[in-house]
Structure 1
Amino acid sequence: MTMESEIDFDIDFDDAVAREVRSYISEIVTGLGLRGDSSCIDAEPLTGAYVALDGRLPDFPSHYVALVWNELSGWSVAVEDRLGDLVDVARLSGDPRPAPADVVRWVNGLLHREQTNRDFAAFVPEQRGIVLS
């Protein structure tokens, strides 16, 4: 018994959106003076990006910093908590896809401002209660 597939495997997918996002993120990475080797772009389920930043935020000097973007909520700066999870500490308001120069200026402002003594509770794992049986 022979089964013929009706799926056309020669379909040429249009990756114009992926190329456009890659170019957009690349402009920001370059504007920040980075090479992009610690960056990634996701296409699904939402288009988004992760860019590891050099330097530290004044409020979180011992935490790695990342620039995170998705097509719906836009840009945020996040730090890794003690468990390695990303926690947003700043969000760029307005258009979810602002001009690259605006993103670069915003990030540089965050990295070079003075410490504001944020609440560090999100970065300290909660004590777990002891269950007695």
Structure 2
Amino acid sequence: MDRDMTIDFGFDFPFDIDFDDSVARDVQRYVREVVSKLGLRGDSSCVELTPHVSAYVALDGRLPDFPDHYVALVWNEQNGWAMAVEDELGELVEAARLGGEPRPSPAAVARWVDRVLRQDQVREQANRDFASFVPVPRAVVRARA
């Protein structure tokens, strides 16, 4: 018995589609360089490409103003880097933002992180009254951050 195992989906798939992943590779390389400058391992970070290009880097240490909260760096292509703390529900709340270009050098990011983690209080562009915030989901922080 000879059966035709061809399935017809009713449309032609264009095999000349170019899946250009250069943006993904570029962002992943940039985040790896930042992670390296911070002295962290690669498994402390992730890059997301949808819905917007963004990154998350778990940090060692705590912010002096929020000693009981985990700290992370979040990045997106529009606004650059921000430092966020996890609230009791595991949601990220922005605590400080690195101004300037969205893609500063990895060394500049590392210096900023070191300065923020070592200062007595988060002063510049900081959320001083953490208890008054309504936490936002990580996806929202990543998209805005």
Q: TM-score, normalised by structure 2?
A: 0.77
- Any gaps of 5 or more consecutive residues in structure 2? 1-6, 136-145
Specify whether residues 94 and 116 from structure 1 end up closer, same or farther in structure 2 by C-alpha distance, changes over 3 A only: closer
Q: Which residue of 2 aligns with 1:120?
A: 130
1:26 aligns with 2:62: no
Cα-Cα RMSD? 2.3
Specify whether residues 120 and 44 from structure 1 end up closer, same or farther in structure 2 by C-alpha distance, changes over 3 A only: closer
Contact 2:96–2:122 at 8 Å: present in 1 too?
Answer: no
Quote the offset at 1:115 in angstroms.
Answer: 3.0
1:57 aligns with 2:63: yes
Q: Which residue of 2 aligns with 1:128?
A: none
Give the secondary-structure state (helix, strand or coil) at the position aligned to 1:93: coil
Count of matched residue pairs: 125
- Mapped to 2, the partners of 1:111 and 1:101 lie a distance apart of 15
Quote the offset at 1:109 in angstroms.
Answer: 0.6
Quote the offset at 1:85 in angstroms.
Answer: 0.9
- Mapped to 1, the partners of 2:9 and 2:96 lie a distance apart of 56
- Mapped to 1, the partners of 2:77 and 2:134 lie a distance apart of 30
| Selected match of 1:14 from 20, 23, 32 | 20
Contact 1:29–1:51 at 8 Å: present in 2 too?
Answer: yes
- Mapped to 1, the partners of 2:109 and 2:88 lie a distance apart of 27
Kindly indicate which of the two structures has a greater share of residues assigned to helix.
Answer: 2
Contact 1:81–1:122 at 8 Å: present in 2 too?
Answer: no
- Mapped to 2, the partners of 1:108 and 1:50 lie a distance apart of 17
